[in-house]
Amino acid sequence: MSSFKFNNERKRYIQIAKGWKRPTWAPLKRNFLRTPGYPGARLLNTQTEMRVLSIPVGIIVPDEADLEMLKEEIASWLITDQPVELIFDVEPNRTYLAVVDDSFDPDEFVTLGIGTLKFICPMPYKLGPIQNKTLAIENSDLKSNFINKGSVESNPIIDITVGAKSPFLDVWNGLEYFRLGYPVPVQTVVVSKEERILWDEMTDLTKWTPYTQKIGYIQPAGSFKVWQGYVFYAEDYGNGTAWHGPVMTRAIPQDATDFILDCQFTLQSTSVGQMGSVAVFLLGDNDEVMTMLDLTDYYNTMQNINSRVGVGWMESEVNKDNYRIIESTGGIREGSFNDFRGHLSMKREGNKWSAKVSKYRANTEIDNDTELDYWIDISNTSKYTSMKPKKIAVAVTKYGNNDAMEVAFIEDVKFYKINHFDKDVTPYIFDIGDKIQIDTERSLVTINGTNAIALKDIFSSFPVIKRGKNEVIIRPANVGIAKLTYRERFR
């Protein structure tokens, strides 16, 4: 007797009954148009319906097993919120994405020892192994030639690490194309509207200077260390009765009237008693806090991470008009930003301040749970609306004698100068080091995790991997390192 793996787990005591045959292909529905005077009908289209797998199974109850515990174990295994992988022993190179039907009764199944599991596959196709292609220069094109052996087209994910600025990006496969931005003639002036003047991947402490004065709500103490070569974390928090931990600063290399500050953080706890924060500040004249981005868990009785993006710092202000919290998730999205990995940003353009907080989708660097807000300082009541930032400060803290957060990382800091031009020019749409992802299944294109669908040519289509021969070409050819991932799909 054979069995199956579901949700990356196999139960050795569950076996598939002999004689069961899987459907050869997903059910099809033909739609016809019948008209008077025309013999038969015209075939309009063919729809592929959901695939339903009704599997007769038997259960071999382990000796001295607690039946109630066994029911709970089976229910926990089979009942999922989303479709997950289903792989049969007799067909190990094919994967279904399935959920169990809600008619499943673990009580009856365990009591009788036999039953039928009905799996529903909303996406009806079987999937082959993951295919990875790295595009390479061939005859002046960045391309990959390959054959899709599946019986239907597949939806790829294309990842590009940018090696050269460009005002456009094309992905071609035969006569079909996907486009961001637009190609320009050689005489066109191309400029950087959002010019990245500082990018620190937090690999080297020597670029930063220890800071000893109180900054915002934080009393500097302790020291930073680089973890595994790519993030800052607090090696030592020092001593303090309130929020305390290491703080370091770095000078901004150019003056910027309008700017964007974007920072990537991770903040996670494993128990309710842990309290801590990660924070980045923009400092202006006399090291005044003109912008604050932070994530804080300030409860020692629950796990609840709150994000804040603001102008100024309240406790240091005599004139409270200088201070404004633009975005705060506290009490609004309680608990949704726990186990946070994502990025916070502040943009100032003219007298408009725009804040963004985005938590990444699990195991990606793609924005998922996002909060946006803005404040227009109509009367220029805040002195920070006209102040130019001089330094960036980073901090990781804990509160008093409470346990520190399990993970508190500052992973990436970017600062952009927003340029303005008097004449009509074309902007670059991405910069060296940016990460672009094109996800056809989700109809989503992102640059550094942020949705970039507004840049898409409305007449272009998300790329697909056709059945049979494919020649995928990405332009411009010097755009960078491009990788394509897909799974062959079978009826």
> Can you give the CATH number for the domain in which 388 is found?
2.60.120.200
% of the chain residues with pLDDT over 70: 97
pLDDT of residue 230: 94
Q: What is the CATH number of the domain that holds 88?
A: 2.40.30.200
Which carries the bigger pLDDT value, residue 429 or residue 107? 429
Tell me the C-alpha distance between 489 and 476, whole Å.
Answer: 30
Q: Is the pLDDT of residue 331 over 70?
A: no
Do 327 and 372 contact (CB within 8 A), yes or no? yes
**What pLDDT does 106 receive?**
73
Which pLDDT score, from 0 to 100, does residue 206 have?
A: 96
Query: How far does Cα 455 stand from its chain's mean position?
Result: 19
- DSSP labels, 317-374: -SSGGG-EEEEE-TTTSTTTTSSEEEEEEEEEETTEEEEEEEEEPTTSSSEEEEEEEE
Residues 266, 233: contact at Cβ < 8 Å?
Answer: no
CA distance 349 to 123: 45
pLDDT at position 115: 80
Q: At residue 361, does pLDDT exceed 80? A: yes
**Could you give the C-alpha distances from 456 to 169, 179, 182, 236, 459, in angstroms and in order?**
9, 6, 9, 47, 9
394 and 408 share one domain: yes
96 within 8 A of 121, measured Cβ to Cβ: yes
> Of the candidates 485, 473, 386, which has an alpha carbon nearest to the alpha carbon of residue 172?
473
Whether the pLDDT of residue 1 is over 70: the answer is no
- For the segment 468-487, what is each residue's pLDDT rounded down to a tens digit? 999 999 999 999 999 999 99
Note whether 364 and 445 are same-domain residues: no
pLDDT tens digits, residue range 232-271? Answer: 999 999 999 999 999 999 999 999 999 999 999 999 998 8
Would you say residue 148 has pLDDT above 90?
Answer: yes
Q: How many helices (H) and strands (E) does the chain have?
A: 2, 38
User: Is 336 in the same domain as 209?
Assistant: yes
Same domain, 286 and 409: yes
- Say which amino acid occupies 146: F
- If one counts the domains in the chain, the total is 3
For residues 174 and 242, state if they share a domain.
no
Tokens (6 digits) for 327: 């975005």
CA distance 263 to 342: 8
Helix (H) or strand (E) holding 84: strand 84-88
Q: Quote the CA–CA distance of 375 and 324 in Å, as a whole number.
A: 8
Choosing from 383, 418, 453, the residue where a domain stops is 418
- Looking at residues 40-63, what average pLDDT do you find? 86
d(CA 168, CA 474): 11
Q: Say if residue 163 is exposed, middle or buried (CB neighbours under 10 Å; 0-12, 13-18, 19+).
A: middle
Please check whether residues 39 and 151 belong to one and the same domain: no
* Prediction pTM value: 0.88
Q: Which of 418, 447, 463 is the last residue of a domain?
A: 418
User: Is 370 found in the same domain as 325?
Assistant: yes
Instruction: Choose among 264, 215, 263: nearest CA to 243.
Output: 215
Q: What is the pLDDT of residues 79-107, one digit of tens each?
A: 888 999 999 988 899 999 999 987 777 77
- Band of pLDDT at residue 318, cut at 50, 70 and 90: low
Residues across the chain: 491
Where does the pLDDT of residue 223 fall: very low under 50, low under 70, confident under 90, or very high at 90 and above?
A: very high
Is residue 438 located within the same domain as residue 408? Answer: no
C-alpha–C-alpha distance, residues 293 and 311, integer Å? 9
Q: Model confidence at 169, in pLDDT bands (50, 70, 90)?
A: very high
**How much of the chain, in percent, has pLDDT values that exceed 90?**
70
Tell me what pLDDT residue 2 has: 84
Same domain for 318 and 381, yes or no, is yes
**Quick one: DSSP state of residue 187?**
T
Residue 332 has pLDDT above 60, yes or no: no
Copy the structure tokens of residue 442. 């989700």
Mean pLDDT of the residues in the chain? 91
C-alpha–C-alpha distance, residues 191 and 422, integer Å: 12
| CB of 240 closer than 8 Å to CB of 386 | no
170 φ, ψ (degrees, to nearest 5): -120, 145
Comparing 349 with 60, which gets the higher pLDDT? Answer: 349
Write the CATH number for 186: 2.60.120.860
Question: In terms of pLDDT, which residue wins out, 328 or 275?
Answer: 275
Which of residues 74, 108, 124 is at a domain's end?
Answer: 124
Residues 352 and 382 in one domain: yes
* Among the listed residues 170, 148, 163, 127, the one whose alpha carbon sits nearest the alpha carbon of residue 438: 170
Q: How much of the chain is in helix, strand and coil states, percent to nearest 5?
A: 10, 50, 40
Nearest to 95 by CA among 137, 123, 64: 123
- What domain range includes position 362? 200-418
pLDDT digits (tens, 9 = 90+) for 287-306: 999 999 999 998 888 888 99
Examine the domain organization and report whether 120 and 142 are in the same domain. Answer: no
Q: Looking at residue 422, what is its pLDDT? A: 78
| Bond into 476 cis (ω within 30) | yes
pLDDT at residue 317, as a whole number: 60
CB 294 within 8 A of CB 355: no
One domain, residues 225 and 360: yes
**CA-CA distance, 394 to 486, in Å (whole number)?**
39
Q: Which residue has the tokens 């603001």?
A: 310
